[in-house]
Chains A and B, each alone.
Chain A
């Protein structure tokens, strides 16, 4: 996984596989055999077809790219944008060129994820609003960007579509056996496609805000305009998501806050010099019909988008009188939301969802859900509550008050029995993405900064109702007719992985 863009702490992130995940398929054609089936000795042997590996094959595997090369890659990739931007400004001088695409004016549209705004605002020591204005001003004046948007419109649709699908599945009883898993984290999606193909059917197929935002931006262009969509995202896997064939033309370039800062250093730009007070800029840089009070906002729930929480909120609305319990899991990267009826314990759990992040938790989850990989004899014993990492006060808050048997009995999150798990590869979710700026040296200080950014995230934005907004957008715009779905490709596994590598004999 390409969060390895620094030599720092990689614990709990999905690491790149050591072998190429593309299965080797050798196309053998009989060489030197003529029509009669005889071998002809004198002929030159035909060349074997070269195995080609494209970026779409590699998607988050990066098995053949070492850490240091990846680091170099990352340091170069804002150059991709700079090169593209230079070309954007080259007007077609060739009058003989009749292709309509060349006659379209290329428009630079920039979107930025909320976690990146938090990270960059912190880095430049600005408030969120100061940063947003400064950022828009910079894109407008330095790069002649036409639109600068937040990603909430895209996220509203991701959330409302997610809920639509989950609620339908729940009604059909399809969530009783195993939960559906979110597909908004490309690190996790790609890991699943490449190494756990059995679990691909569990991915809830709704595109992420990044891709939907691209699609919405395209809608707002004029006939003679062609979009170049640059987006700022918290991690490097979003680059790979943008290059998926099922996302053609939605996103052209993804850069991270780390790269943004490097880029400005290379360009010798002082970001602070673009500070501006004029709030009209929010409207000026929004496409027609885009309300900046919506697309610059956020919604309640996790710092990765709040998908698990928004599902439970809607289930609560559909079941009046119910209560949401927030149950901590074995460690701080697992939490369950459980909907119960406080007046009728016998109803049991009406609905539940979970947030789960980090490689160790993903490991346990895939092992649990992919039953084929578990081999043990005899009945599976229920695991006793293992080492509790939570403080006892947190646990006490969860005791149900009406059932005397349940008094003071601490609840433990059971993510594998929920309806839906919001899975994030970065431990702690997107606010701890590998592309965000964290220059602290020691692990303790790093954690402290990550926690600080997470707290800032929950306090810095206006909140909208994403479910309502998403549904409204579907009703009133071209969105309604689009599926906003990925095309997942589960890679068939070779059972025998005979790796020819050095050092595997000791």
Chain B
């Protein structure tokens, strides 16, 4: 049970805040405003294929997300807007399978073979956009901001036009992160107000279905368990969420039932064993059932569930980005192999493998 660094990509000249992986492409968001697209086939075939126009956003790119079932990328920025990028097809992408390992991708700016186009810019938030997330079907985009609100936008197949469907203002502070359930129309938002809120579509508008209280500090991130066969009817007992906080804990929350008013009842099922010394910035619940967490102390940890809904730490690696804080961790499926990707203040994206 060891974590091994597979690849370290020095991509950005400043903090790397966010990354997302889909159809073999890793996208990164950074303070330096250059969104990079890197093709990752396996540890030996990693290549920079695009650097998006860094004049579109005026401030840091805080969050990037690939739209499911399409070739669209959304990026949320501190300049309060969200940009949408696209490429008609990724088929004409010729990625040479040269054996040359590209460690320093910043040098490869003349190898842009993808060339994604800017499709749209979405305005609405009053200040820094902190998080963006696509619903599983790709028709809804959730955005959250320091302006304390969560917005839900609707789009069509083309992804060019966006209409605001809901403006949700129930958090009392900066909203750091939003994430959709992998199959249900359910959104979770995490905030500086120490709570996580769950949002559901109540016929005419989205509303808060539940408030999860318990963390004793800012909640930075949350992630749903990847139960892909869940439906609204089979939710009970199998809908779970994990969260990461300033209070150095990772918690697992479980949905109990709906009450008579349509509100959801949740409980805190577990607090994972303590690993981190300081703020935990990111948490990811993999399809393999394992939870990964990372944060200010630079440690990457993997937890596994045991009987009785207890959890144990099965892997731990310190100083994953040297002395720098690590902002994000995600489980990514690279051609069938589950790897972990982390992004840190050193501007690097690191890929990790672990052997059970």
Contact = CB atoms under 8 A, between A and B. Distances in A.
Contact of B127 (A18, A427, A442): A18
A218 B263 CA distance: 51
List the 8 shortest-distance A-B pairs measured between CB atoms, nearest first: A442-B261, A376-B120, A363-B164, A444-B261, A10-B169, A360-B164, A332-B204, A359-B167
Nearest to B156: A384
Contacts of B204: 331-333, 389
B139 interface: yes
A444 B209 CA distance: 10
Contacts of B120: 375-376
7 contacts: A11-B207, A13-B169, A363-B124, A367-B123, A381-B158, A381-B160, A504-B128
A377 B158 contact: no
A11 B202 contact: no
A10 B126 CA distance: 16
Interface of A: 9-13, 15, 17-18, 67, 330-333, 359-361, 363-364, 367, 373, 375-378, 380-381, 383-384, 386-387, 389, 427, 442-445, 499, 503-504, 506
Interface of B: 78, 117-121, 123-124, 126-128, 130, 139, 146-149, 151, 154-158, 160-161, 163-170, 172, 174, 176, 192, 202-205, 207-208, 261-263
Nearest to A378: B160
B170 A386 contact: no
A376 B261 contact: no
B263 to A, nearest CB: 6
Contacts of A359: 167
A443 B207 contact: yes
B139 A387 contact: yes
Nearest to A10: B169
A10 B171 CA distance: 10
Contacts of A504: 78, 127-128, 146
A377 B119 contact: yes
Nearest to A330: B163
B115 to A, nearest CB: 14
A386 B127 contact: no
Interface secondary structure of B, over-half rule: loop
Contacts of A444: 202, 261-263
Contact of A383 (B124, B163, B164, B165): B163
Interface secondary structure of A, over-half rule: loop
Contacts of A442: 261-263
A11 B205 contact: yes
Contacts of A13: 169
A11 B168 contact: yes
Contacts of B263: 442-444
A506 B147 CA distance: 13
Contacts, number: 106
Given A10-B169, A387-B139, A503-B192, A17 B126 contact: yes
B127 A377 contact: no
Contact of A503 (B139, B146, B157, B167): B146
A485 to B, nearest CB: 31
A172 B299 CA distance: 69
B119 A11 contact: no
B194 to A, nearest CB: 14
Contacts of A377: 117-119
Contacts of B192: 503
Contact of B167 (A330, A332, A363, A376): A363
Nearest to B128: A504
Given A15-B169, A389-B203, 10 more contacts: A18-B147, A331-B204, A360-B167, A364-B164, A384-B156, A386-B139, A386-B163, A443-B208, A443-B261, A504-B128
Contacts of A12: 166-167, 169, 205
B202 A443 contact: yes
A364 B161 CA distance: 11
A373 B166 contact: no
B167 A373 contact: no
Contacts of B165: 331, 360, 387
A217 B126 CA distance: 41
A491 to B, nearest CB: 15
Contacts of B168: 11
A376 B169 CA distance: 28
B156 A376 contact: no
A96 to B, nearest CB: 55
Nearest to A7: B172
B180 to A, nearest CB: 15
Given A11-B207, A13-B169, A387 B160 contact: no
A11 B120 CA distance: 26
A92 B126 CA distance: 51
B304 to A, nearest CB: 30
Nearest to B17: A506
Nearest to A373: B123
Contacts of A360: 151, 164-167, 205
A350 to B, nearest CB: 28
Residue of B118, B149, B204 with most chain A CB atoms under a 10 A cut-off: B204
Contacts of B149: 15
Nearest to A380: B161
Contacts of B163: 330, 364, 383, 386
Contacts of B151: 360
Nearest to A359: B167
Contacts of B157: 384
Contacts of B127: 18, 499, 504
Nearest to A444: B261
Residue of A11, A332, A377, A383 with most chain B CB atoms under a 10 A cut-off: A11
Contacts of B147: 15, 18
Residue of B147, B154, B161 with most chain A CB atoms under a 10 A cut-off: B161
A445 B117 contact: no
B119 A376 contact: yes
A11 B121 contact: no
B205 A386 contact: no
Contacts of A381: 158, 160-161
Contacts of A332: 204
Residue of B146, B157, B205 with most chain A CB atoms under a 10 A cut-off: B205
A375 B169 contact: no
B166 A11 contact: yes
A387 B154 contact: yes
Nearest to B118: A377
A444 B263 CA distance: 9
